[in-house]
Structure 1
Amino acid sequence: MNLKPILIAAALGLSAALAGCTSMGPAHIFSSDYGSVKDAGYQLPSIPISKVPRQYHRQIVSFETKEKPGTIIVDTREKFLYFVMEDGKAMRYGIGVGREGFEWAGTARIAMKREWPTWTPPRAMIGRQPELAKWAGGMPPGTSNPLGARALYLFNKGGDTGYRLHGTPEWNSIGKAMSSGCIRLINQDIIDLYNRAEVGAKVIVKR
């Protein structure tokens, strides 16, 4: 009996099976979701996602925590935001965080959600950057607005923390410490998170 054709067929079958397995991996990395998006009359530009390190692309990862699904956990050291899901999984997003002197940590809750929010620079920020005084009454929504396409407003027992989870037009700041303390995500990612997160959700920010 000539075993060569059988062995070749088996090898091809194994190769196809392995190819099927590996093709499942990238299905959990949403690198193709950063194209141009029309949203509420605004045209978000596409993101050159190949220039963003792969670990900061939106993806589903294994994530063990005692926190219930729907909780948001922010790891400012690793520059990741996790939206806790069922079955030991989380949706992970790359983030930009507060620069030196503007870091923060703690527990809060989402008190409000806003699409295409108005941005009002805090008085202290205007003091540091007087050119922002023209926006003291609020900067209108738009693709150049620092809060981007969505904002989640964080409150604790003392009220408004002043911190937000929000979008940003500055995609190249993801994975870096450049903000004034808020947690920023690529606009396409904050839209995804906004659609998942609920008002009242617990947010844990770790340093």
Structure 2
Amino acid sequence: MTNHVTRRQVLSGGLGIAALTLAGCSTTTSRAPVPVQPQPQVDASFLQNYGPRPQEEFPLPGIDPRVLAPEFRRQRVAYRTDEEPGTVVVDTRSFYLYLVEPSGTAMRYGVGLGRQGFEWSGRARIAWKRPWPTWTPPEEMIAREPHLEPYSAENGGMQPGLGNPLGARALYIFQGNVDTLYRLHGTNEPASIGKAVSSGCVRLINQDVIDLYDRVRSGASIVVV
């Protein structure tokens, strides 16, 4: 996790997506044609929710609909709960985050989880929020990964940007006045949504964490189950 902030970006708390390159010899024999994958249908709502965000401090690219499964796309759903409207509920079993709304509905977001995302559960509050936060890896992480030393607290952390593991927004979770080191944060790795990844807390696609950030008030309750 992080002290100032947690990790992740382009996509993950330090993860990336490797491209597999296949090299071959040239031949004179003919090859069967490679079938062309059809482009998925992209409706107006997808473009509105997941299109580019050029107005951001660090402009965000749009999300490829082939990478983000429909069930993990932001949507309003029926949701029965005793929690007050405005409460955030993270269901680590289903990789969903719910923002409770009045009248039995919730805004649902797909999330990815890291080790820290599974290590803490309970009830707390969103103490504060930051747009384009800096990231400070904890000392234990630096001990495991010495190459992160330049981003230590003494060195001011990693500056905001597309390569920062916390992404476009971060929400910091406290119990009372104690920092749980649990974070909700953005990621540039849409393929990590709905999966458990190696590090980080609860990650949302940058476009989704921006939406959540704008809807959630500081001091709101959060329940992690």
Q: Is the 8 A contact 1:31 1:58 kept in 2?
A: no
Cα RMSD (Å) of the superposition?
A: 1.9
Secondary structure of the residue that 1:46 maps to in structure 2? coil
Matching residue's letter, 2:51: G
Following TM superposition, by how much is the alpha carbon of 1:172 offset from its aligned partner in structure 2, in angstroms? 1.3
8 Å Cα contact 1:70-1:84 kept in structure 2: yes
Change in CA separation of 1:199 and 1:127 when aligned onto 2, cut-off 3 Å: same
Q: Does 1:180 align with 2:212?
A: no
- Once structures 1 and 2 are overlaid, which stretch shifts more, 175-184 or 58-67? 175-184
Extract unaligned runs of 5+ from structure 2.
1-42
Residue in 2 aligned with 1:198?
217
Structure-2 residue corresponding to 1:119: 135
Give the structure with the higher percent helix: 1
Letter in 1 for 2:67: K
* Alignment partner, residue 114 of structure 2: 98
Alpha carbons 2:117, 2:201 under 8 Å: kept:
no
So what's the TM-score if we normalise by structure 2?
0.75
Is the Cα–Cα contact under 8 Å of residues 69 and 86 in structure 1 kept in the other structure?
Answer: yes
Query: Which segment is superposed worse, 56-65 or 44-53?
Result: 44-53
Count of matched residue pairs: 179
Unpaired runs of 5+ residues, structure 1, are 1-26
More displaced 10-residue stretch of structure 1: 121-130 or 185-194: 121-130
TM-score, length basis structure 1? 0.81
Q: In the alignment, what sits opposite 2:51?
A: 35
Matched residue, 2:34: none
Does residue 82 of structure 2 align to residue 66 of structure 1? yes
- Against the structure 1 CA distance between its residues 179 and 204, is the aligned structure 2 distance closer, same or farther, given a 3 Å change threshold? farther
Structure whose alpha-carbon radius of gyration is higher: 1
Q: Which amino acid aligns with 1:153?
A: Y
Matches of 1:51 and 1:131, distance apart in 2:
30
More strand by share: 1
Contact 2:133–2:169 (CA under 8 A) maintained in structure 1: yes
